[in-house]
Amino acid sequence: MEILGLLDTLESIILDSTKVPFTKKVIVDEAKVLSIIDKIRLVTQGGHDFAKKALAHNDAPENAAAAPAGANEPERKGAFEGKTQEIIEQAYQLAKEIRGGADKYADEVLANLEATSVRVLRTIKAGREQLAKTTQVKEEK
């Protein structure tokens, strides 16, 4: 499945990212991560097309077993169309659940990224302040 490949790519980006010393945090390329998340969204949103294509590929005579035995052609067609509609509704529901899960996961990743960025920024500011203090002390002497 294409989503699994995208998740593997996302995982490799995280694993190959620069580590923040003395922490379990990493610095990731925001653009790469967001690009992968966008691709995951596109794949999950395109899921309903997959169900329609799969159903279009199947012919009604092959699925006539879904209709009652001895049913005439209109009854078979009606039973097939009912089953088709049921499958499409299930596919839409599944796609909705997948999108919800992907959005939740993306939000968690972005929240972690934001928290890491805030910590790194604090460290940078503290380092610059310490450097400024050290520079002031040297200039005063």
Cite the beta strand spans of 24-97 per DSSP E.
Answer: 26-27
Residue for token digits 């939740």?
A: 104
Q: What is the pLDDT of residues 84-127, one digit of tens each?
A: 888 888 888 888 889 888 888 988 899 889 999 999 999 999 99
The mean pLDDT value for 129-137 works out to 88
Q: How is residue 92 written in tokens?
A: 């839409």
Q: Of 97, 121, 108, whose CA–CA distance to 10 is shortest?
A: 108
Q: Is the pLDDT of residue 53 over 60?
A: no
